[in-house]
Amino acid sequence: MNVTLDHVYEEYNRYMYHLCLKLTRNQTEAEDLMQEVWLKVVRYETNVKDVDHLKAWLTTICMNTFRDRYRKNVRISKHVMNQPETLDVPVLDLVPSETLSSEDLLEKSDLSQMVRDKISELDSIYQTTVMYFYVHQYSLIEIAEIMKVSIGTVKSRLFRAKQRLKEMLIADSAITDYIPA
């Protein structure tokens, strides 16, 4: 490390640690994040002398690194959710298949039938608007012309229909089996 990076580290070390701690809310994770951030700073040390606002630059690196870690963890958790730490399966078995299993197809079919049933319980004006937009894939302008209302009215009806549908789905105990906890 040259003198410039030593100076940057001494001046911003505490600030960066507190920022990492605030983002992760976990001391171990904060230390790991901070290490990644400083590795990136060292990797791009040639850019340090060109930076006008060093604190903002470091903050941006920290925030982006945190976001990247979060996205990576979310991607991993989708495929390895609720798995024991020592897996007895090859890593390639964890890669999702392009085709759905028969169990997934049945679940998807059941869920779509439940949603269709709930849509049919909506008031006719909301049901029609939802069908035009999501099933027939008409634009807002086309729906407004067909229904002879303004675009704002179409937007309001879609919003209200989605809210009502959400309430109906949450209230239905049969659907809670399909919603992950």
Alpha carbon distance, N-terminus to C-terminus of the chain: 48
Round to whole Å and give the CA distance between 58 and 15. Answer: 10
Asked if residue 146 lies in contact with residue 138, where contact means CB atoms within 8 angstroms, the answer is yes
Token pair, residue 78, equals 């989708």
**Residue 89 has what pLDDT?**
46
Round to whole Å and give the CA distance between 69 and 94. Answer: 19
Asked if residue 178 lies in contact with residue 110, where contact means CB atoms within 8 angstroms, the answer is yes
Token pair, residue 12, equals 């911003």
Domain 3-94, CATH: 1.10.1740.10
Asked if residue 74 lies in contact with residue 31, where contact means CB atoms within 8 angstroms, the answer is no
**Residue 176 has what pLDDT?**
61
Length of the chain: 181
Is the overall model pTM greater than 0.75, yes or no? no
Round to whole Å and give the CA distance between 108 and 95. Answer: 20
Round to whole Å and give the CA distance between 140 and 72. Answer: 36
Instruction: Please report, in tens digits, the pLDDT of each residue of the chain (181 residues total).
Output: 455 788 888 999 999 999 898 988 889 999 999 999 999 888 888 888 888 888 888 998 998 888 888 777 766 555 555 555 554 444 444 455 556 566 666 666 777 777 888 888 889 999 999 889 888 888 899 999 999 999 999 999 999 998 998 888 788 776 666 555 4
Q: Any idea which residue has 């007895």 for tokens?
A: 88
Helix (H) or strand (E) holding 51: none
Helix (H) or strand (E) holding 177: none
**Residue 181 has what pLDDT?**
45
Domain spans in the chain, listed from the N-terminal domain onward? 3-94, 102-177
User: Under CATH, what is the fold of the domain 102-177?
Assistant: Arc Repressor Mutant, subunit A (1.10.10)
